[in-house]
Structure 1
Amino acid sequence: MARGSGAFDSCYEGVYVNSALDVLVVAPHPDDAEISVGGTILASKALGMRVGVVELTNGEPTPYGSPEIREQETAASTAVLDLDWRENLGLPNRSLESNLEARRELAIVFRTQRPRIILAPYWEDVHPDHVAASQLVDAARFWAKLSKTDMPGERFWPPQMYYFWSIHLRIHPKPSFVFDISEYIDQKMQAVQCYESQMIAGRPTEHPTVLDDIKDRARYWGWTIHRAYGEPFASREEIGIQSFLPLTSAE
């Protein structure tokens, strides 16, 4: 399928030149991408888009995890999602900051991978790392376009950026749009379950489990657009469209 067609259509034709990735997900920790946008990743891959994930931290320490366990779980999930690229920046978990060093590291990723769409954490969240991650993405996006710097890669402005909800966010604002992931919910949940140390180990086994919660939220967002399952996104910028293609009937 040609670039620019499908789920994330764009009016920014020029950004396709020398673009390594169509979609780049910036996740604070391993498993955040799967939980929040796993279905969107799979739907985008099915359209022939190149999709990558960059984690800012390794997510450790946690009660039942370790860096080695999380690395193995991430590798298993990467295979399920069939990602084209994945990297971890190794920034400090639990004390993530949008500082100059972190901003430079993420801006380098944007300059070298040149994604035309960035999916980033929403700017309000219970988890401080998620708030810092959202601020960091905003700042690194700007830095990536600067000239006369010591950063490798050509200057680049990622033209589209959308924000995803975290499982920590209890009160959800109204999204700018909801992505239909109905065909990919089972595969999304398979990817999420790869993180056994976070989703299964030491957790209650009776219904509802954390896995039920993740799937039920996707069911709710699907219901809002008259589909089986969905994932919500916010945008700080206007979204341009080229045609009205109805997702649902008026019934």
Structure 2
Amino acid sequence: MKVDVLAIGAHPDDVELGCGGTLAKLISEGKKVAIVDLTQGELGTRGTNFTRAEEAAEAAKILGISARENLKMKDGFIQNSEEYQMKIVTMIRKYQPEIVLSNAIDDRHPDHAKASKLVSDACFLSGLVKIETVLEGKNQQPWRPKHIFNYIQWKNITPDFVIDITDFMQKKIDTCLAYKTQFYDPNSTEPITPIATKDFLESLTYRAQDLGRLSGVEFAEGFTTEKLIALKNFDGIIL
């Protein structure tokens, strides 16, 4: 079950909105990617937890990820508790990712920043030998990811680095639009929410375009990092 990258989101659609283009690019390069959603998004104004599950499955199919799971934490009430930490530790040890991508460190929805800290702490705890976890009757081995990167969501956080997603912008849009109940639909009779407006849908493109403008590419996604990144050389930098 080992993957290269484990993307974690507080709600179904967080990952697609925050780093869908990056995941699509990684998968095209042969990397294995899994997604773990912490909640079912059951407090969302539009749709239900059942429609969100169907939409998440469709988005996963479009992306071509290796696995997707939902931990069914309580939407709107994510806490950095031992119970929730251990749920994530189990997932980290199951998938053994080199990199974990997680929610924004500060954002409009309180679950996002809470999930960011929760995931960070769980990644550390997952590497401790004396913390024991069992999955499907088998003892799990300690595992600590090499890096934790946080994608950017509602707020305009200054990224520490960006990923060029120029060739994958449309796939990002397609995966987001798999969440049909959540985003702009002129024919919908459901209440309007901040993410269900035409402007929000268009912002997916113009925000990625602006990060691209600043970094010399067409479209980009931004990330913050918990620790200083060391480059082996300059070969990977787009000049």
Please give the TM-score of this superposition, normalised by the length of structure 1: 0.86
Distance 1:93 1:208 in 2: 25
Pairing of 1:3-152 with structure 2 (within 5 A): 20-152=2-134
2:213 aligned partner, one-letter code: W
- In the alignment, does 2:211 pair up with 1:221? yes
Q: 1:189 aligns with which of 173, 179, 188?
A: 173
Q: 1:161 aligns with which of 125, 132, 148?
A: 148
Query: Whose strand proportion is higher, 1 or 2?
Result: 2
Distance 2:105 2:236 in 1: 30
* 1:153-193 deviation line (CA, Å, top 9, x unaligned): 101111111111112x1x42x31111000000011100000
- Report how far residue 247 of structure 1 moved: 4.2
- Report how far residue 126 of structure 1 moved: 2.0
- Report how far residue 246 of structure 1 moved: 5.9
1:238 aligned partner, one-letter code: L
Please give the TM-score of this superposition, normalised by the length of structure 2: 0.90
| Structure 2 spans left out of the alignment, 5+ residues | 135-139
SS of 1:199's partner is: coil
- Report how far residue 248 of structure 1 moved: 3.9
Distance 1:63 1:124 in 2: 22
**Number of residues of Structure 1 aligned to a counterpart in Structure 2:** 227
| Structure 1 spans left out of the alignment, 5+ residues | 1-18
Structure 1 consecutive aligned stretches of length 4 or more whose deviation exceeds 3 Å? 201-204, 246-249
SS of 2:150's partner is: strand
- Report how far residue 145 of structure 1 moved: 1.0
2:76 aligned partner, one-letter code: R
* 1:220-247 deviation line (CA, Å, top 9, x unaligned): 1111111110000111211121121264
- In the alignment, does 2:223 pair up with 1:233? yes
SS of 1:198's partner is: coil
1:233 aligned partner, one-letter code: F
2:120 aligned partner, one-letter code: D
Once superposed, what is the RMSD of the aligned Cα atoms?
1.8
